[in-house]
């Protein structure tokens, strides 16, 4: 008896069943997985710089406090390059650049095998990543300036004071995140919605924002002190909050979430 050809209905049913079985065996889409926290690099240099960075920032703030009270614009502008140098060193030595977790090391050439032309690895360009993060931090300073104005900062006066305060806040709180997270929409949705996992970078941002908010408390008090003028207490709150949030985010609160 001759074999019967399968009907179109049987073929489509078999294809659907095969597709369903493959789909059931596939792993869950990585996009649905929660964003992991950023871990500090394991090198000895990273561990040294990780602990040295807070000491340098605190020393800079204490050394420039009198100048900050006397002339905030001059003190903040002169300290800005030093803060950039400290933050860039901390990021490059201690933090994984965006895309480095997906990088694949170059394969070693076998004896007698010619090395192929091209880059040694697929990792990110650290110089370019750092430059882009600094540019994004500078742009974010404008947005932070507007946010400070909306929260009560002088609008028509003290423009330089407010912008420099925003620049320091951006360098401390946002630069490490731009360096490690890039401009990923999913990552920044979690960050802006306060649902990202705690690590040193995100903890530093949360601490800096909380510190800035608490730093505004002494300004309206009738104490008649020189250090109460704008934005001395805000800057001190930003630095203190950033250091506390960074330490907590990298230790006790690591990988925890608000929700």
* Domain locations in the chain as residue ranges: 39-98+141-259
Which stretches within 114-199 are classed as H helix?
Answer: 126-150, 159-169, 175-181, 185-192
Look at residue 107 in the predicted model and tell me its pLDDT: 53
Region class of 79: left (phi > 0), else alpha (psi between -120 and 50), else beta: alpha
Q: Which pLDDT band holds residue 21 (cuts at 50, 70, 90)?
A: very low
Q: What is the mean pLDDT of residues 181-187?
A: 93
Going from the C-alpha of 172 to that of each of 21, 101, 130, 165, the distances in angstroms are 50, 23, 14, 11
205, 192 Cβ separation under 8 angstroms: no
What does the alpha-carbon distance between residue 226 and residue 48 come to, in Å, rounded to a whole number? 37
Alpha carbon distance 177, 158 (integer Å): 28
Which two three-digit tokens encode residue 162?
């407010």
Query: Confidence band (pLDDT; 50, 70, 90) for 228?
Result: very high
> What is the distance, to the nearest Å, from the Cα of residue 179 to the centroid of all Cα atoms in its chain?
6
**What's the rounded mean pLDDT across residues 243-253?**
95
Beta strand segments in the chain, E? none
pLDDT band per the 50, 70, 90 thresholds, residue 27: very low
Percentage of residues of the chain with pLDDT beyond 70? 79
Burial of residue 24, with CB atoms counted within 10 A of its CB: 0-12 exposed, 13-18 middle, 19 or more buried: exposed
**Residue 110: what pLDDT?**
59
Once rounded to an integer, what is the mean pLDDT over residues 186-199?
A: 94
Query: What average pLDDT score do residues 36-65 get?
Result: 95
For the chain, the average pLDDT equals 85
> How much of the chain, in percent, has pLDDT values that exceed 90?
73
For residues 60 and 14, which has the higher predicted lDDT (pLDDT)? Answer: 60
Highest mean pLDDT among 11-15, 69-73, 108-112, 154-158: 69-73
């Amino acid at each position: 008896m001759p074999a019967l050809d399968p009907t179109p209905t049987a073929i489509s049913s078999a294809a659907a069943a095969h597709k369903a079985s493959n789909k059931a065996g596939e792993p869950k889409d990585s996009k649905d997985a929660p964003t992991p926290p950023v871990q500090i690099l394991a090198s000895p240099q990273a561990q040294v710089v990780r602990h040295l960075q807070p000491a340098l920032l605190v020393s800079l703030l204490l050394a420039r406090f009198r100048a900050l009270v006397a002339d905030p614009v001059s003190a903040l502008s002169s300290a800005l390059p030093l803060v950039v140098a400290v933050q860039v060193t901390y990021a490059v030595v201690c933090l994984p650049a965006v895309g480095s977790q997906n990088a694949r090391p170059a394969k070693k050439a076998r004896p007698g095998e010619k090395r192929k032309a091209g880059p040694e690895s697929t990792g990110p360009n650290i110089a370019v990543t750092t430059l882009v993060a600094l540019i994004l931090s500078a742009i974010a300073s404008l947005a932070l300036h507007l946010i400070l104005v909306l929260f009560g900062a002088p609008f028509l006066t003290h423009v330089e004071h407010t912008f420099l305060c925003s620049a320091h806040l951006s360098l401390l709180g946002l630069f490490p995140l731009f360096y490690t997270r890039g401009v990923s929409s999913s990552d920044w949705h979690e960050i802006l919605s306060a649902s990202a996992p705690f690590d040193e970078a995100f903890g530093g941002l949360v601490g800096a924002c909380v510190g800035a908010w608490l730093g505004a408390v002494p300004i309206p008090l009738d104490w008649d002190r020189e250090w109460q003028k704008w934005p001395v207490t805000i800057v001190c709150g930003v630095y203190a909050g950033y250091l506390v949030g960074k330490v907590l985010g990298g230790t006790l609160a690591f990988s925890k979430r608000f929700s």
